[in-house]
């Protein structure tokens, strides 16, 4: 593997991390279209949840990948959900994703994590990657969604995640707001 440094995500990396995320998910198997503000909102939120772990992979001073997730209690244990793992297309297949996941075990809270889980596309190169790292498909569980009618133009107002917080989790400013 190239000389890659794994470091905690910080705001100076935001622009590069957003670009790396968009690059990674615009290729196979996803072919997703992401607006930079959507990515910034998502990663800001993921970085702010309790027990968050947010890491970036750096080649010199360039972000080439990232892992964003969080630990949560479940039945008396601590589980970790990888919400986002991405590596830019140019760097895929060079061990960066594997290194990011391995870093979870080296973190102080890693010793307390019982299970690591994630969602990925079935029967894809992504699923094969995770299976090579010891993840298994849980055929007992299903992923269900319900599409909701649009209630806005899809944009989130405000800088970063602040607009998202205000829209979905308004802060009570007086007793009458509670």
Whether pTM > 0.85 for this model: the answer is no
Please indicate, yes or no, if residue 25 is contained in any of the structural domains: yes
Please indicate, yes or no, if residue 168 is contained in any of the structural domains: no
The string of pLDDT tens digits covering residues 79-113 is: 999 999 999 999 999 999 999 999 988 887 777 88
| pLDDT at position 178 over 80 | no
Please indicate, yes or no, if residue 149 is contained in any of the structural domains: no
pLDDT at 1: 59
Please indicate, yes or no, if residue 162 is contained in any of the structural domains: no
Question: 126, 155, 177, 142: which is closest to 41 by C-alpha?
Answer: 155
Count each helix (H run) and each strand (E run) in the chain, helices first.
5, 5
* Cα–Cα distance, 72 to 11 (Å, whole number): 24
| pLDDT at position 75 over 50 | yes
Between 63-67, 70-74, 141-145, 171-175, the lowest mean confidence (pLDDT) is in 171-175
> In terms of residue numbers, what domain contains 86?
5-142
| Mean per-residue pLDDT, 14-43 | 95
pLDDT at 172: 39
| pLDDT at position 67 over 90 | yes
Please indicate, yes or no, if residue 167 is contained in any of the structural domains: no
For position 114, which CATH number holds? Answer: 3.40.630.30
- The CA angle 121-93-138, to the nearest 5 degrees, is 30
pLDDT at 153: 54
| pLDDT at position 69 over 90 | yes
pLDDT at 107: 81
pLDDT at 173: 39
Distances (CA, A) of 76 to 46, 79, 130: 23, 10, 26
- For the chain, give the mean pLDDT: 84
- What confidence category does residue 66 fall into, taking pLDDT thresholds of 50, 70 and 90? very high
- Describe the chain by its helix, strand, coil percentages, rounded to 5: 35, 25, 40
Between 25-34, 39-48, 86-95, 168-177, the lowest mean confidence (pLDDT) is in 168-177
Please indicate, yes or no, if residue 83 is contained in any of the structural domains: yes
Please indicate, yes or no, if residue 174 is contained in any of the structural domains: no
Q: Looking at the 3D structure of the chain, how many domains does it have?
A: 1
- What confidence category does residue 154 fall into, taking pLDDT thresholds of 50, 70 and 90? low
Please indicate, yes or no, if residue 150 is contained in any of the structural domains: no
């Amino acid at each position: 593997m190239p000389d890659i440094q794994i470091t905690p995500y910080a705001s100076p990396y935001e622009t590069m991390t957003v670009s790396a995320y968009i690059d990674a998910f615009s290729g196979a198997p996803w072919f997703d279209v992401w607006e930079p503000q959507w990515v910034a909102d998502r990663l800001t939120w993921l970085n702010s949840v309790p027990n968050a772990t947010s890491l970036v992979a750096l080649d010199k001073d360039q972000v080439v990948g990232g892992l964003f997730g969080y630990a949560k209690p479940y039945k008396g244990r601590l589980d970790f959900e990888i919400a986002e793992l991405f590596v830019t297309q140019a760097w895929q297949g060079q061990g960066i994703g594997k290194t990011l996941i391995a870093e979870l075990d080296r973190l102080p809270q890693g010793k307390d994590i019982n299970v690591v889980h994630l969602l990925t596309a079935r029967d894809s190169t992504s699923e094969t990657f995770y299976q090579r790292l010891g993840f298994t498909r849980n055929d007992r569980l299903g992923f269900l969604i319900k599409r909701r009618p649009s209630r806005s133009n899809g944009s989130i107002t405000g800088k970063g995640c602040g607009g998202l917080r205000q829209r979905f989790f308004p802060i009570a400013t007086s007793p009458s707001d509670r």
